[in-house]
Structure 1
Amino acid sequence: MTRHGKNCTAGAVYTYHEKKKDTAASGYGTQNIRLSRDAVKDFDCCCLSLQPCHDPVVTPDGFLYEREAILEYILHQKREIARQIKAYEKQRGAKREEQKQLQRAAAQDQVRGFLEKEGSIVSRPLNPFTSKAATGTVPEDAQAGSSAEAPGKDKDKDKDKEKALPSFWIPSLTPEAKATKLEKPSRTVTCPMSGKPLRMSDLTPVRFTLLDDSVDRVGLITRSERYVCAVTRDSLSNATPCAVLRPSGAVVTLECVEKLIRKDMVDPVSGQQLTERDIIVLQRGGTGFAGSGVKLQAEKSRPVMQA
């Protein structure tokens, strides 16, 4: 039996390898790729700066931030909201003033039309012995009909003017783009990750327990395992579900919460009573494996060729 080439195209079957190769080369079809461990954020890194936190705080939804980064974001969002509200109020005031001007112009046109109609009336002495045809008076209906024809002609002229294309060489006739209608902005500051309302009072300080107290901050960044559970001393990583206790800010594993803390609902670090709201599950990144519960598949949708 003869040996076939590796890229033989004489086969009757369009293989999966050939299909993927043609898809990547043609630029059509949706491409999928699995993210590596380098594309996943560590559990102790800020969601904004993506760097290990020096002064970490956590939101009620479990997203970890550097205090300086999240406060700067909140202030920036408040300034942006104030700017949008100012632009919205300015547009509303201009629109209100434009409506007032249109109302004044309509009232002036109505008064002008009334004065013109009053000035066109000619008073003549009535002779009871002569008919209307002899005196040359015209019925009011005919006058109304003749006066009604004038606005119609003006409308036709206006339509003809609108159909005429404006000139791009004369500045006064150059068309202009109308201002976009602004919607009323919301005054609520939202979390950059969850999109829920966020206040400064909702931020809870987090205190990680160091694995080795003798290691400085630069040495911590280069190590893969930096922190441990405040109760069981188990190492913390993306593969370990963690929780933050609100009264003390200590970080413990969920296993410790289920087996030890939920029995008495007492913070083992500060000794204060706990509620369900005081146990904040910390959001963590993936581990590079399918069992992490995080979507690690990236998709890029491109045009599809249909037969």
Structure 2
Amino acid sequence: MSRHSKNNTARGHFTYAEMQMLDYGTKKQRLGRDSMRDYDACFLCLQTARDPVCCPEGHISCKECIYENILAQKQEIQRQAEQVAIQQAQEQKEQELKEELAQQIILSEFEKSQMGVLSKTASLRGKLSTDIAIPDLPLNSTDQAKGSKKRPFELDGAELDRLSKQERMNVAKAIEEEAKSKKPVLPSFWVPSLTPSNRKTEFKVTKLHTMCTATDKEHKLSLKNLVPVKFEMSVEDHDESETSNAKGSAICPICRKGFTNTTKMSILKSCGHVYCDSCCKQFIKKDGKCQTCGHKTKEKDIVSMTGEGSGFSGGGAKEARKFDVAFQ
């Protein structure tokens, strides 16, 4: 005998009815037609596109909306470039301060060693064994033939700069290692300089070009690549008194069929006219020209326009998911 519905909670798993009554867990719902934008709607403002333009991948948007989007992206790219320049300037300044400190230490140790106050083993440079052995330069052929004495050693300025820079870098590295060795092993959460989160974060550039964000797979976008969309409108039959309130709908210029979310459309990048895919295959590709304006069109200029679908299983299935954690 089955249990009563009010006492049906002693099983080892939840039933479908019990899962629907819970306020936590993963919930999903299929989106219908009302949750999808129309074929001629802008993917930015979700309204019917005003002065519609199309990107090279077939995404429609308002001319004003896409201009504002590109401008905002360019401002963000400029801000990131300025942030990177500021970070590089700070790093260069820190490096110059380290080299200056290392130069002061080298000079002070040299003065102390000359005065006999500091031994070589006690110096900071002695820990790195940065003594540079200057090789003897070979004699010239004329000097060898004459048997003359070795000419005086000469070192050019570039070599001196390289050696001094290498020595400063070694001393700066020794200073950092000595500072790290003095820090405690365990972090102190009450000291700001020793907290685990007190780390230098590097700023990374996320955008280098303006991108089209109509889909998850973004692609490059520029004002030169935008194509003005030219729909052919068909005015519905109305009385003469209602001509001012007539409503137009986009149709294919060849087969005169109205466009819907289930219609597969293609746009010609050369002129901007929109046709259905079947008419493009039968007429546009064969003739190599637009049937409306007669403009020459290549096969690579025909771009399929993408839409969100009609909400049915064959016209774009979309689901919304929500996850909540159970707190007891």
TM-score, scaled relative to structure 1: 0.74
Once the two structures are TM-superposed, the CA of residue 11 in structure 1 deviates from its matched residue by 9.2
- Which of 67, 85, 88 is the matching residue for 1:89? 85
Alignment: residue pair count? 271
Match of 1:25 in 2: 22
**1:247–1:270 Cα contact (<8 Å) kept:** no
The question of 1:280 aligning with 2:303 is answered yes
3-state secondary structure, aligned to 2:114? helix
Opposite residue 55 of structure 1, the aligned amino acid is D
Pairs within 5 Å for 1:260-271? 260-271=283-294
Distance 2:52 2:268 in 1: 14
> What RMSD, in angstroms, separates the aligned Cα atoms of the two structures?
3.9
Q: Deviations over 1:164-206 (max 9, x none)?
A: 95866xxx98979555311245431111224111110100001
**2:288–2:297 Cα contact (<8 Å) kept:** yes
Check 1:218–1:198 CA distance in 2 against 1; reply closer, same or farther (3 A cut). Answer: farther
- Which of 202, 211, 215 is the matching residue for 2:225? 202
Check 1:297–1:93 CA distance in 2 against 1; reply closer, same or farther (3 A cut). Answer: same
Pairs within 5 Å for 1:1-307? 9=8, 16-21=15-20, 24-28=21-25, 30-120=26-116, 155=178, 159=182, 165=188, 177=198, 180-184=201-205, 186-193=207-214, 194-212=217-235, 220=247, 226-292=249-315, 294-302=316-324
**1:244–1:282 Cα contact (<8 Å) kept:** yes
Once the two structures are TM-superposed, the CA of residue 219 in structure 1 deviates from its matched residue by 6.6
Distance 1:118 1:70 in 2: 72
Match of 1:133 in 2: none
**After TM superposition, where is structure 1 displaced by more than 4 Å over at least 4 residues in a row?**
2-8, 10-16, 143-148, 154-158, 160-168, 172-179, 213-220, 301-304
Check 1:120–1:264 CA distance in 2 against 1; reply closer, same or farther (3 A cut). Answer: same
Q: Deviations over 1:92-136 (max 9, x none)?
A: 0111111011111101101101111221269xxxxxxxxxxxxxx
Once the two structures are TM-superposed, the CA of residue 18 in structure 1 deviates from its matched residue by 3.2
3-state secondary structure, aligned to 1:65? strand
Distance 1:166 1:204 in 2: 58
3-state secondary structure, aligned to 2:292? coil
TM-score, scaled relative to structure 2: 0.70
